Amino acid sequence: MLLDNWTTEQIRRKFADVFGHAPEIITFAPGRIEFLGNHTDYNGGPVLGAAINRGVWVAFARRADSRWRMASDYRQGVLHTVDVAAYEFVKQCGEAAWANYPLGVLSVLPAYGYSVPDGFNFLATSNLPVGSGLSSSAAIELASALAFIAVTGRHCPPDILAQIGRSAENDFVKVPCGILDQGVSAFGRSNHLVHIDCRHNQFEHVRLPTDVNFWIFNTHTKHALVDGLYAGRHSECRQAATLLGVATLADATFGQLEAVRSLMPEPVVKRALHVLGEIARVREAIASLAEGAVPRVGKLLTASHRSSQKLFENSSPELNMLVDSLVVIPGVYGARLTGGGFGGAVLALTGQDFQAVEARAVGVHYSHRFGAEPQILQLRSGEGARVLNKATHLR
Ligand code: ADP
Ligand code: MG
């Protein structure tokens, strides 16, 4: 169900409709976009992300018995419910697989010093498309974790919240994601990007002008061999680091790469050039934003895409066509594939001249060549994961 926004009152009513009483707490965690820094995370480099003004709400109340009752209406407004005995950490499958995200969070809470509630009613509501590269998985993890923790009156700092979400996804759901998704959802701030130093897991805010918009054009395409392709890129980057004699590619310079490139297979040189280029572009984007030079930042986004296209070779005809169409439109500062690539979505950074009419025209143009229109979303930067509302009788 994709409404523009849910009010806490609407969430409270939905919860009461499902469970027959009011929630004790309502939390929200946003989705995120990868703004710049492609495949830099596992190479020890920096990445820039932005929390967005869409995400997942969790409404929650403890129960006296030892049942965990979880419901979500994330699929076309149909309510999916899962009811398990407390502490039964059995991985769910099929229609119930979504519950692995809150279950995963519960399974890792004790390792971070937080208690697990004995029994509860839980409702997740979302205005974030799932599987569209906007990290709905991190959003449900963080909104769940905050509800489980804050209902007991305890505080959770954003870096720990991000780690809890990532552990749930890595260790329980078994998706080997980096810290980008959860880190940005936890640290998000309106009119800011989140800069992550992936080697040290350090987070900083980078101010964004208030008059820019993000547009996502989701192709809903995915290379059939995407998992193998990611693994291949990982190992090429590792190979490059080994040949350069550094622990991670982020430790190398263009000069060092030049000196040994004749000893390296050509694809390995190209992957390393891309990663070093992305690291340089992230740094340049931060410096440009400090000067308010948004057009320069847009050019860096487009340069990132061209590097993906030619060096990392993780673009696709669909993504290239969207970028080519977008970058010639006045009001578009720049555009690039966002996320892992080999399909997925394009991000455009725009000013106020670029509006729904222009976006739609790009979609129609795309459909003439590829048959279907992309999903188009206009997004703005938003605040990170937070408690929205807590019943007053609680501490
Ligand atoms: P992405 O994180 O890019 O959206 P993922 O495949 O990593 O894609 O995560 C999507 C999965 O997360 C969904 O299939 C579902 O299992 C779970 N999920 C996301 N949002 C919700 C929600 N509001 N309610 C229940 N499950 C959700
Ligand atoms: Mg995800």
CATH number at residue 12: 3.30.230.10
User: For residue 2, is it within any domain?
Assistant: no
Asked whether 192 and 381 are in contact (CB, 8 A), the reply is yes
- How many angstroms is it from 208 CA to the middle of ligand 2? 25
pLDDT at position 133: 84
User: For residue 1, is it within any domain?
Assistant: no
Asked if 195 and 285 sit in the same domain, the reply is no
pLDDT at position 1: 42
Asked if 147 and 15 sit in the same domain, the reply is yes
- d(C-alpha 116, C-alpha 149), whole Å: 8
Asked if 139 and 251 sit in the same domain, the reply is no
* Residue range(s) defining the domain that contains residue 190: 8-207+382-390
Pocket-testing residue among 33, 134, 137, ligand 1, by greatest number of atoms within 8 A of Cβ: 137
User: For residue 91, is it within any domain?
Assistant: yes
For ligand 1, atom 6, name the residue with the nearest CA: 131
Q: Which ligand does the CA of 131 lie closest to?
A: 1
- How many angstroms is it from 22 CA to the middle of ligand 1? 25
Asked if 260 and 327 sit in the same domain, the reply is yes
For the chain, the domain total comes to: 2
Asked if 251 and 165 sit in the same domain, the reply is no
Q: If we measure between CA atoms, which residue out of 178, 188, 303, 344 comes closest to residue 248?
A: 178
Asked if 227 and 289 sit in the same domain, the reply is yes
User: For residue 235, is it within any domain?
Assistant: yes
Residues serving a catalytic function are 181
The set of protein residues with a Cβ atom below 6 angstroms from ligand 1 is 56, 72, 74, 97-98, 101, 124, 126, 130-137, 140
Atom of ligand 1 nearest to the CA of 101: 17
User: For residue 60, is it within any domain?
Assistant: yes
User: For residue 326, is it within any domain?
Assistant: yes
Q: Which CATH number do you get for residue 267?
A: 3.30.70.890
Asked if 339 and 366 sit in the same domain, the reply is yes
pLDDT at position 392: 52
Asked if 129 and 103 sit in the same domain, the reply is yes
Asked if 16 and 29 sit in the same domain, the reply is yes
Asked if 133 and 226 sit in the same domain, the reply is no
pLDDT at position 62: 97
User: For residue 395, is it within any domain?
Assistant: no
For ligand 1, atom 8, name the residue with the nearest CA: 131
Pocket-testing residue among 52, 140, 181, ligand 1, by greatest number of atoms within 8 A of Cβ: 140
Residue 39 sits at φ, ψ, to 5 deg, of 55, 30
| C-beta atoms surrounding 257 within 10 Å | 19
Residue by residue, pLDDT tens for the chain (395 residues) are 454 578 899 999 999 999 999 999 999 999 999 999 999 999 999 999 999 999 999 999 999 999 999 999 988 778 999 999 999 999 999 999 999 999 999 999 999 999 999 999 999 999 998 888 899 999 999 999 999 999 999 999 999 999 999 999 999 999 888 899 999 999 999 999 999 999 999 999 999 999 999 999 999 998 888 889 999 999 999 999 999 999 999 999 999 999 999 999 999 999 999 999 999 999 999 999 999 999 999 999 999 999 999 999 999 999 999 999 999 999 999 999 999 999 999 999 999 999 999 999 999 999 999 999 999 999 999 999 999 987 654 33
Asked if 217 and 175 sit in the same domain, the reply is no
User: For residue 3, is it within any domain?
Assistant: no
Asked whether 213 and 378 are in contact (CB, 8 A), the reply is yes
Atom of ligand 1 nearest to the CA of 175: 7
| C-beta atoms surrounding 18 within 10 Å | 17
pLDDT at position 227: 85
Cite the beta strand spans of the chain per DSSP E. Answer: 25-36, 46-62, 67-75, 78-85, 120-126, 192-197, 202-207, 213-222, 332-338, 343-350, 375-379, 386-390
pLDDT at position 11: 94
Asked if 256 and 347 sit in the same domain, the reply is yes
Quote the distance between the C-alpha of residue 14 and its chain's center. 26
